[in-house]
Amino acid sequence: MASNFKQLLNSGKFVITSEISPPKGTNIEKMLHHIDLLKDKVDALNVTDHQSSVMHFPSLGGCQVIEERGGEPILQMTCRDRNRIALQAELLLAYTRGIRNVLCLTGDAVVVGDHKEAKGVFDLDSVQLLRTIRQMELGKDLGGNNLDGTIEFCAGAIVTPEARPIEPQLIKFENKVEAGAEFFQTQAIYDLDNFAKFMQNARQFPVKILAGIVLLSSARMAKYMAENVPGIFVPQYLIDELASAPKGGALNKGIEIAGRMITSLKKEALCDGVHIMAIGREEVVPDILEAAGLPSRVMA
């Protein structure tokens, strides 16, 4: 049976996803709180997989909790920490726990994280991981052996519409589509004209695209992201707008900007939905939804 999320994607609804960052440690209280806060307000929740190569409670663990509490999890899987044996095994486990959506990522480099001396695995890449899922769905593992019980996932990937140069990224995007990606969550976008151009090309493919909305919490953070995070471009007018916010009001300004962007994306039907990343401020996601004028409760 197709996942709820997949059905929603295909229903033509403007889909909203967000994400949960698991804790560094066993204190999962905050994560549980965020899950409870968001699980009925958005259509699905990603759980990050050692985001920025910083060791955390695992994505799969977070997804199990979401599923147990009646939410719709999207399992983020990077190729950085597991070889093909471990990745396949985790897909088996995820499936048996009722998880039906996977986001396949290459993963950040080990050296940007907090275990800089670790061995980066990258036995598979994101395209190969997508194909692995499709092959396992047909009942065979990567070694060509029969599976006793198969899997079925709604598989997605990411794309960076602001990457420079863009051409090799677009080819990789097509390679992911070819490999079986059904949906894409994009890296943060802020320039809607650029994004519209990206979508013009992307529209020819039979995939759903959720625009990445990363909350800008201050002018400083926006500048930092624009200067340091590859593939993110923040127009100067947004930085100025954040800087012009009254003291202590930058976060509200950021929420307003995110809400405004979502409204435009939806109104102009630029894409199939949005993926909201509040990076450590999950509690304001409902405020972003409200600023976007979206119903506070999703009817699944």
> What residues line the site for another protein (CB under 8 A)?
80, 84, 106-109, 111-112, 120, 122-128, 131, 142, 158-160, 163-165, 167-169, 171-172, 174-175, 178-179, 187, 230-231
Q: Cα–Cα distance between 16 and 9 in angstroms, integer?
A: 10
Angle, to 10 degrees, between the axis of helix 59-68 and the axis of helix 29-38? 50
The strand pairing partners of 78, in sequence order, are 105
Would residue 70 be called left, alpha or beta, if left means φ above 0 and alpha means ψ between -120 and 50 degrees? Answer: left
* Cα→Cα distances 210→72, 76, 280, Å: 16, 15, 20
Q: Which is nearer to another protein, 114 or 178 (CB)?
A: 178
Q: Which is nearer to another protein, 127 or 289 (CB)?
A: 127
Q: Which is nearer to another protein, 92 or 142 (CB)?
A: 142
Q: Which is nearer to another protein, 36 or 123 (CB)?
A: 123
CB of 184 to another protein, least distance (A): 11
Q: Which is nearer to another protein, 123 or 137 (CB)?
A: 123
| C-alpha R_g of the chain | 18
Within 8 A by CB and 6+ apart from 209, the residues are 159, 183, 184, 186, 199, 202, 271, 272, 273
Residue 186, burial from CB neighbour count under 10 angstroms (0-12, 13-18, 19+): buried
Q: Which is nearer to another protein, 2 or 111 (CB)?
A: 111
CB of 143 to another protein, least distance (A): 10
- CB 160, CB 188: distance < 8 Å: no
CB of 230 to another protein, least distance (A): 4
CB of 74 to another protein, least distance (A): 17
Within 8 A by CB and 6+ apart from 7, the residues are none
CB of 135 to another protein, least distance (A): 10
CB of 20 to another protein, least distance (A): 21
